[in-house]
Structure 1
Amino acid sequence: MSEYLVVLTRRSIRWSKLLQGKSHIEKNVKVKRYIRKGVPNEHRTFIWMAVSGSQEKMEKNPGYYQSLLRAQHDPNLMEAIRTDLHRTFPDNVQFRKTAAPCLQKVLYNVLLAYGHHNKDVGYCQGMNFIAGYLIIITKDEEKSFWLMDALLGRILPDYYTPAMLGLKTDQEVLGELVKAKVPAVWRAMMEHNVMWTLVVSRWFICLFIDILPVETVMRVWDCLFYEGSKILFRVALTLIHHNQAFILQARNLPDICDRFKQITKGAFVEDCHTFMEKIFKEPGSLSRATISKMREACRAQIMAEESWRPPAPPPAPHVPPPAALAPPLKCS
């Protein structure tokens, strides 16, 4: 940390010079390079809002967020959100009911507003962690809402819809990328019949929150807001490529799953500055065109497979509502 503080200080000085007197920031090669090297905490909210398009949308829709909170609320949506409030960062004192102020109320407002704003999504388990993390970083309710809109509506569409087609697709795309770039690990996964959803679903659905160290997650999100979802593939591929020898020592399915948990811990991911440099080197070329083509093929395959599934049997009598049955999503 003492070494990283030197990096943070140097970056802070350079960012302050870059942003001096600016109320807006345009995307360019210099800004992209600066973001990859890390955004200082004091500028993070401003940069995320600017590069994601959230600031522009907020300015074009004054009062919209408050109007969502004043609207008539769906009781089912309200209950689903309340169920997950106490599960959101329970170890963080700011989210405890005894905190003053308690961020649970802010979290509830952001999730409720987003549920009305995007009725196709509503509320899905996992969104509470995304919203909670944004609130911690921005310390601003409305800005957290607009950043959430950028993430779920534009950067990661279909991740949190009921079918989660975007999430399923990207897990399969990662498998294809591993097949091309780390074939030995891909063969091991096939040999032991390990589905990618078993080992990487939490990486994607939690956007690495509570998977990687906090400072590393913030650096990943810096790039996620600027460069889009391909950053998630770069992070996942780097973790797998860098630890392929360790993964290949696994002898069965549980062993592989355990090793995928272990590779998200330790010195390699804690040294976030070096780790972020690695994600742009170790995976090699990763163009948007390549990812788009893989997504198209994987999505078509998933939809074809799901269309052939037999219809679900009718529910037994007196079954509790699905929300009551669903286990809490744990991002760890």
Structure 2
Amino acid sequence: MEIRSRRRQTENGTDPTPAQPQLRINVPSTARERVPSVDPYGFERSDDFDYESYEELMSEYLAVLTRRSIKWSKFLQGRSRVEKNLKVKRYVRKGVPNEHRALIWMAASGSQDQMDKNPGYYHSLLQAQHDPKLVEAIRTDLHRTFPDNVQFRKTAEPCLQKTLYNVLLAYGHHNKAVGYCQGMNFIAGYLIIITKDEEKSFWLMDALIGRILPDYYTPAMLGLKTDQEVLGQLVKIKVPEVWQAMTEHNVMWTLVVSRWFICLFIDILPVETVLRIWDCLFYEGSKIIFRVALTLIRHNQALILQARNLPDICDHFKQITKGAFVEDCHTFMQTIFKEPGSLPMATISKLRETCRAQIMAEES
């Protein structure tokens, strides 16, 4: 998570992003020069990381973030199950502390139920005979997965590449219609970082790819293509000036937002912001992706409209995923539920039906 000069709002009835107890906020300058710093998830911080702003921010909000964690701990105390209700939804939207993320993601997505109903299934997949083509495809991408994360390097102990390989291999055999597709390695990697558990990561993959985002990763990628066009239609409704500009410059939506969808904003937005998005994605489903995308576009429409040609548009779409607005994950998450306005699932479903039919007709 890159942090520049910025401030987060104080606790005015809402709670900022949960922090991790292990965050080190007082880093001597000599240590910064001597040792490459990593964030709590193992990602190396960039050379231009603003330590002073980070320390200022954390010194101001650490107590608030701790109180948020305490609220979750009190809520979960003595609970073996977490049922969906308005209180939990409100808590999730405010952010799930990292120590409770695996539990909440598993419960909210139905993954815990699936794992409980299928004891030993994950390990049976690993023990089965493996498809050589699947093995080769996965191995090819292992070293490309988070090269800036110290936990995925071969020198790490333990090295998460082996865990990543197991999860992807098991899933490829579990869902033969998907097998393995580029982009899945980053999703599995994030799940492993948070859950620290192979089997839970596998079942969360199953929830994302099998239920929350169906047909995103199949060979035809019909679900992915459909949702990109759905976003275009939503922009036409919500931000018509941007839709008009895209049309005039003949820019296909897949050119500027395909990585947003296929990587679920990994390597697009800061780590903490991605995790906050995923909190809601597991709880509320795919509609969250549209809310995030619409917010990025609507909030930055003035910049997008400055584009004079195709390269400008592509460059401006990269710019809108950086900076203070997306780094302040708590304010950003509050904004995604306000700025796009009403977004009924019925509207999305109807648009999906229309866009899917159009794509299938064009490809037939």
Q: TM-score, normalised by structure 1?
A: 0.91
The correspondence for 1:114, drawn from 171, 181, 185, is 171
Alignment of 1:1-332 (within 5 A): 1-2=57-58, 3-307=60-364
- What is the CA distance between 1:241 and its match in structure 2? 0.3
Deviations 1:183-223 (A, max 9, x none): 00000000111100010000000000010000000000000
Runs of 4+ in structure 1 off by over 6 angstroms are none
- What is the CA distance between 1:7 and its match in structure 2? 4.0
- What is the CA distance between 1:4 and its match in structure 2? 4.6
- Give the letter for the 2:270 counterpart: P
Structure 1 distance, partners of 2:62, 2:223, is 37
- Give the letter for the 1:141 counterpart: E
- Give the letter for the 1:153 counterpart: G
Structure 2 distance, partners of 1:79, 1:296, is 36
Structure 2 distance, partners of 1:7, 1:265, is 25
Partner SS, residue 298 of structure 2? helix
Structure 1 distance, partners of 2:186, 2:69, is 28
Deviations 1:94-129 (A, max 9, x none): 111111111111000000000000000000011000
Q: 1:250 to 1:170 in 2, by over 3 A?
A: same
Structure 2 distance, partners of 1:61, 1:263, is 43
User: What is the aligned-residue RMSD (CA, Å)?
Assistant: 0.8
Structure 1 distance, partners of 2:91, 2:282, is 13
Q: TM-score, normalised by structure 2?
A: 0.83
Q: 1:165 to 1:220 in 2, by over 3 A?
A: same
Asked if structure 2 preserves the Cα contact closer than 8 Å seen for 1:4 and 1:273, the reply is no
Residue 311 (structure 1) aligns with? none
Asked if structure 2 preserves the Cα contact closer than 8 Å seen for 1:170 and 1:295, the reply is yes
Partner SS, residue 321 of structure 2? coil
Deviations 1:56-115 (A, max 9, x none): 110111000000000010000000000000000011111111111111110000000000
- What is the CA distance between 1:14 and its match in structure 2? 1.1
Structure 1 distance, partners of 2:62, 2:180, is 38
Partner SS, residue 72 of structure 1? coil
Structure 1 distance, partners of 2:66, 2:169, is 38
Count of matched residue positions in the alignment of Structure 1 and Structure 2: 307
Partner SS, residue 121 of structure 1? coil
Q: 1:216 to 1:267 in 2, by over 3 A?
A: same
Give unpaired runs (5+ residues) of structure 1: 308-332
Deviations 1:22-79 (A, max 9, x none): 0110000000000000000110100000010001110111000000000010000000
Partner SS, residue 172 of structure 1? helix
- Give the letter for the 1:62 counterpart: P
Q: Kindly, what percent of the aligned residue pairs are identical? A: 87
Give unpaired runs (5+ residues) of structure 2: 1-56
